């Protein structure tokens, strides 16, 4: 059974489990609601701030979009995957998996690839919906491809370090502030911003900011972002496999 068959077998089950869980059911709408609110609220706020205080909010749109979309989109799907995995651990589904035609490798591939694909699709919905960015198709695709691996990365992080959904929820809230901290790098105009590079979320944000500003070189940041995320992903996959066989 290959990864496509894994999608056919597990996809409907995942959809049913997400719809049944009130927490997971509404999370997917958070980026869409955020994009709509930004579209409706930010332009009049920008106009008001400029008229009353002479402060132009427009130069900070990339920071706002990076906060809400470059990270929120992947992390939403990461939480969904992580909580589904924790549910399956609680129900001993992962143990039963080892005696089914679905191989563990195909199962892991499914859990990694699907959130990446969903993140890419979501990005091409929320960015035009917010209507605050200026990226054309190809730069937006590049920014999306760099950010998308954060989805399975965050999902496997929750699944490997939390013992249940209660711990997973606590870790989600606790790590959120840390993962979004690199947004501060947008306001630092020297090499000290690289101190945020220890956090994997910094690199996708930096790529997006460079693309929005039309500055270069962007490819070194793309390379570091992908290599760093895939290295962390490989570590988490190995750790997750150990959990499967415990």
User: Whose structure tokens read 């979009």?
Assistant: 65
What per-residue confidence (pLDDT) applies to 97?
Answer: 63
Q: Which pLDDT does position 12 carry in this prediction?
A: 74
The pTM (predicted TM-score) of the whole model is 0.90
**Predicted pLDDT of residue 246:** 62
The residues, any chain, with a CB within 8 Å of residue 10's CB and separated by 6 or more, are: 102, 107, 110
Q: How far apart are CA 126 and CA 53, in angstroms?
A: 30
Question: Measuring CA to CA, how many Å separate 39 from each of 43, 70, 72, 139, 185?
Answer: 7, 16, 16, 21, 24
- List the chain domain ranges: 3-244
pLDDT for position 126:
94
Q: What is the pLDDT at residue 96?
A: 62
Q: Give the model's pLDDT for residue 9.
A: 67
SS3 of the chain: CCHHHHHHHHHHHHHHHHHHCHHHHHHCCHHHHHHHHHHHHHHHHHHHHHHHHCCCCHHHHHHHHHHHHHCHHHHHHHHHHHHHHHHHHHCCHHHHHCCCCCCHHHHHHHHHHHHHHHHHHHHHHHHHHHCCCCCCHHHHHHHHHHHCCHHHHHHHHHHHHCCCHHHHHHHHHHHHHHHCHHHHHHHCCCHHHHHHHHCCCHHHHHHHHHHHHCCCCCHHHHHHHHHHHHHHHHHHHHHHHHHHCC
pLDDT in tens, the chain (246 residues): 465 666 776 777 777 777 777 777 788 888 999 999 999 999 999 999 999 999 999 999 999 999 888 988 899 999 988 988 888 777 666 666 666 666 667 778 888 898 999 999 999 999 999 999 889 999 999 999 999 999 999 999 998 998 888 888 888 888 877 888 999 999 998 888 999 999 999 999 999 999 999 887 899 999 999 999 999 999 999 998 887 766
Distance in angstroms (rounded) separating the CA atoms of residues 73 and 45: 24
The label of the residue with tokens 């002479």 reads 54
């Amino acid at each position: 059974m290959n990864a496509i068959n894994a999608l056919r077998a597990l996809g409907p089950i995942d959809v049913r489990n997400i719809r049944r869980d009130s927490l997971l059911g509404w999370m997917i709408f958070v980026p869409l609601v955020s994009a709509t609110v930004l579209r409706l609220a930010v332009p009049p706020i920008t106009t008001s701030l400029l008229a009353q205080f002479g402060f132009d909010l427009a130069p900070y749109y990339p920071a706002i979009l990076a906060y809400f979309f470059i990270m929120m989109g992947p992390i939403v799907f990461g939480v969904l995957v992580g909580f589904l995995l924790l549910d399956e651990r609680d129900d001993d589904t992962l143990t039963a998996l080892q005696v089914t035609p679905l191989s563990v490798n195909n199962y892991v591939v499914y859990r990694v690839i699907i959130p990446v694909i969903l993140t890419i699709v979501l990005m091409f919905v929320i960015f035009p919906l917010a209507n605050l960015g200026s990226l054309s198709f190809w730069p937006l695709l590049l920014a999306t491809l760099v950010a998308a691996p954060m989805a399975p990365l965050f999902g496997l992080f929750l699944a490997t370090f939390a013992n249940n959904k209660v711990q997973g929820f606590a870790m989600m809230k606790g790590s959120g502030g840390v993962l979004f901290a690199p947004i501060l790098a947008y306001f630092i105009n020297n090499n000290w911003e690289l101190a945020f590079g220890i956090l994997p979320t910094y690199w996708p944000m930096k790529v997006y900011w460079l693309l929005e500003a039309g500055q270069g070189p962007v490819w070194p940041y793309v390379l570091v972002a992908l290599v760093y995320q895939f290295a962390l992903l490989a570590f988490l996959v190995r750790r997750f496999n150990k959990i499967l066989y415990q």
